[in-house]
Amino acid sequence: MRKLVLAFCAAFALSGCAAERVWAPDDAVARAAYRHDGPPRLTLFTMINNRTGAGAHTSLMINGSQRVIFDPAGSFKHETLPERHDVVYGITPPVADVYTRYHARKTYHVKVQELDVSPAVAEAAIRAVTSYGAVPSAMCARSTSSVLSSLPGFENIQTTWYPVKLADQFGKIPGVREQELYEYDSDDNSKVLREWNPNAVARADTMVN
């Protein structure tokens, strides 16, 4: 099974599948800190192949005392966004918007699953991802499911290697809201970040609040 997971991850460029030990300095993380004014929330992102329906990447956005994205073994990187291991800081609405557009393309779409949680659960999630460390290749769903299963009220989440299986489990939790985001750009997603203006307003049709 591990060989199969490694194979699909190696074949999928957008997930990156590279464990990088990145550690942004304290001042950069402090400057980037952003808390969305919405409720404490967990947002599970699942990137899905439009042709086969297979999952390709998993990540988790957390809104608590600040909003971060746990992007395990992911390739989403920009010089204005500090990262520590696989946690990206400064997730303003424009950043959340470009994050989804970076992953959605003609061959993949993004399933977005949101769940409002208590402040305590949101903070537990932030502590869990910031202490997890750099995630090895092909372990995006495994690391994210491990984080979720450690949270109060999420004990029924089983650790899995497969993004779609994790999305299915998460979707069964009462209160989860789902949407799917499609775009039909080229598979060369690098241009999304090259052309991105950090000061631009998020696009209303794709923005994740």
* 200 band by pLDDT with thresholds 50, 70 and 90: low
> Residue 56 to residues 37, 46, 70, 194: CA-CA distances in angstroms?
30, 7, 16, 23
Weakest-pLDDT range from 86-90, 116-120, 128-132, 195-199: 195-199
Residue 35 lies inside a defined structural domain of this protein: yes
Residue 39 lies inside a defined structural domain of this protein: yes
DSSP code of residue 105? B
pLDDT at 189 over 90: no
Residue 180 lies inside a defined structural domain of this protein: yes
Residue 198 lies inside a defined structural domain of this protein: no
Name the pTM for this structure: 0.86
> Which residues, including other chains, have CB under 8 Å from residue 58's CB and lie 6 or more apart?
44, 45, 46, 47, 72, 140, 141, 144, 145, 163, 166, 167
Residue 106 lies inside a defined structural domain of this protein: yes
Whether 102 contacts 191, CB under 8 Å: no
Give pLDDT, residue 11. Answer: 41
Give pLDDT, residue 184. Answer: 84
- In terms of residue numbers, what domain contains 145? 2-192
Residue 12 lies inside a defined structural domain of this protein: yes
Weakest-pLDDT range from 10-14, 84-88, 171-175: 10-14
pLDDT at 53 over 50: yes
Residue 197 lies inside a defined structural domain of this protein: no
- Greatest Cα pair distance in the chain: 44
Domains contained in the chain, number = 1
Residue 202 lies inside a defined structural domain of this protein: no
Query: In this structure, is the dihedral angle defined by the CA atoms of residues 167, 142, 114 and 157, taken in order, positive or negative?
Result: positive
Whether 207 contacts 93, CB under 8 Å: yes
Best CA proximity match to 19, nearest among 162, 113, 167, 140? 140
